[in-house]
Amino acid sequence: MTKSAELFQQARKTIPGGVNSPVRAFAGVGGDPIFIERADGAYIYDADGKAYIDYVGSWGPMILGHNHPSICDAVITAAQNGLSFGAPTAREITLAELVSKLVPSMEMVRMVSSGTEATMSAIRLARGFTRRDKFIKFEGCYHGHADCLLVKAGSGALTLGEPTSPGVPADFAKHTLTCTFNDLDSVRAAFEQYPDEISCIIVEPVAGNMNCIPPQEGFLEGLRGLCDEFGALLIFDEVMTGFRVALGGAQAHYNIKPDLTTLGKVIGGGMPVGAFGGRRDVMEYIAPTGPVYQAGTLSGNPVAMAAGEAALTELSKEGNEAHLAELTKRLAEGFKTAADKHGVALAVNQVGGMFGFFFTDKDTISCFADVQQCDIEKFKRFFHLMLEEGVYLAPSAFEASFTSLAHGDKELEATLAAADRAFAKLASE
Ligand code: PMP
């Protein structure tokens, strides 16, 4: 028995399902999860000492790769000066200014400790500011696990077959309107049905929780237009896309200005951080300046702020943004070429440092219904073939995969050679 299998058995005795977040359990691909012992650069190492080229990157944040010296040094130094004060620090200003500079629509920023907190707080703020209860989300998009957001959600909620969770009262869920990603008509219909009741739209500008689905031309512009027409706020959930699709997030890449933006783990370079921010008049509506309540003992935690400052400073360095996009494109195209060579039908999506592939003969995957029609069994088989080869992809057909700046030629070539062998096997089965 492997050490990972032993640990999984032991974990299940005291931790529900043996994991502290569902997708980690490999429910989406079958088999036992590998337990990670350490990570460095583009690699993670399991409890049995096997190395894997990592395309999960802690689900997005490790854009600089694991164990980046600037982040590690910043964390160690900050930790030596105290772990938490529950009082303001200069570092919080530095990080807020840095975020605001990179994402100019975020005129004001509030730090929180997770993406879930960021989206939950942004929705509350939008509801409070507009004095309206309803909001629109898209089927297959995931925005964390706040009650009202667990309606037709993506990510683990999809993988585990419970996109609308028990425990969410119908009375809460009834204010969540679900539309179809890349389908503006479905959004207009919702606004026309409830013209004065919709507070906001929340959207992953590039969906990363039903695999990777970019917005089609005109979709994000259309959402902006509909929000303006009906007096609703537009929230971009950039927990995955922030600093990854482009340094200024998907809003910079597609040149659309949302009213509010939510950011997550990426800011902290791996430490538990999130943030939401946006228009000054809206942000001043939260406590203590405004009536909408929002708080957090560990918000703006000094160690997390230090990690964030180091991570964003490194990421901002000349050339990093273009390099990340270029290497990811090369990888995505390489997957497609290898699949074609073996006659395996594959569609690949890629934007900046995120990508996803779909076992389908359709050319375009644009919404959740398209993803559902793909060959999930083939994905599972491919995932395990790649895992054996030492390549760790997102363990679900409903998740995007991520690259990092630590993925060099050696790692890309090894990944594509492994993919070539895996596609060959799939084709022969
Ligand atoms: N929004 C998006 C787009 C996400 O992908 C996630 C999690 N991956 C969240 C929100 C929730 O973030 P967290 O898991 O840090 O609470």
pLDDT confidence tier of residue 113, bands split at 50, 70 and 90: very high
pLDDT confidence tier of residue 156, bands split at 50, 70 and 90: low
Mutate to test the pocket of ligand 1, among 113, 145, 240 (most ligand atoms within 8 A of CB): 240
Query: Do 312 and 100 meet the contact criterion of CB atoms below 8 Å apart?
Result: no
Residue 161 above 90 pLDDT? no
Please write the tens of the pLDDT for every residue from 218-249: 999 999 999 999 999 999 999 999 999 999 99
Say how many Å lie between the CA of residue 322 and the centre of ligand 1. 25
43 is catalytic: no
142 is catalytic: yes
Please write the tens of the pLDDT for every residue from 267-316: 998 899 999 999 999 999 999 999 999 999 999 999 999 999 999 999 99
237 is catalytic: yes
Say how many Å lie between the CA of residue 428 and the centre of ligand 1. 38
Residue of 265, 370, 380, 392 with catalytic role? 265
- Please tell me the pTM assigned to this model: 0.96
Please write the tens of the pLDDT for every residue from 357-406: 999 999 899 999 999 999 999 999 999 999 999 999 999 999 999 999 99
Helix, strand, coil % over all residues of the chain, rounded to 5: 45, 15, 40
Give Cα 111 to chain centroid, integer Å.
17
Which residues approach ligand 1 with their CB closer than 6 A?
59, 114-116, 119, 142-144, 204, 208-209, 237, 239-240, 264-265
251-277 burial: b if 16+ Cβ within 10 Å, else e = bbbbebebbbbbbbbbbbbbbbbbbbb
**CA distance linking residue 193 with residue 188, whole number of Å:** 9
Query: Do 386 and 420 meet the contact criterion of CB atoms below 8 Å apart?
Result: no
Fold for 3-67+318-428, please state it. Aspartate Aminotransferase, domain 1 (3.90.1150)
Fold for 69-315, please state it. Aspartate Aminotransferase; domain 2 (3.40.640)
161 phi, psi to nearest 5 deg = 75, 20
Closest Cα to atom 10 of ligand 1: 143
Q: Which of 33-37, 163-167, 287-291, 336-340 has the lowest mean pLDDT?
A: 163-167
Q: Which of 79-88, 157-166, 337-346 has the lowest mean pLDDT?
A: 157-166
> Do the first three CATH levels of 3-67+318-428 and 69-315 match, i.e. the same topology?
no
**What is the average pLDDT across 317-335?**
97
404: left (phi over 0), alpha (psi -120 to 50) or beta: beta
Domain residue ranges in the chain: 3-67+318-428, 69-315
Q: Residue for token digits 């060099």? A: 408
**CA distance linking residue 405 with residue 15, whole number of Å:** 34
Mutate to test the pocket of ligand 1, among 123, 209, 211 (most ligand atoms within 8 A of CB): 209
Closest Cα to atom 9 of ligand 1: 144
Within 10 Å of residue 80's Cβ, how many Cβ atoms? 9
Instruction: Note the pLDDT of residue 70.
Output: 97
Sequence-separated (6 or more) residues with CB below 8 Å from residue 407: 42, 53, 65, 327, 331
Of 162, 157, 201, which is closest to residue 181 (Cα–Cα)? 201
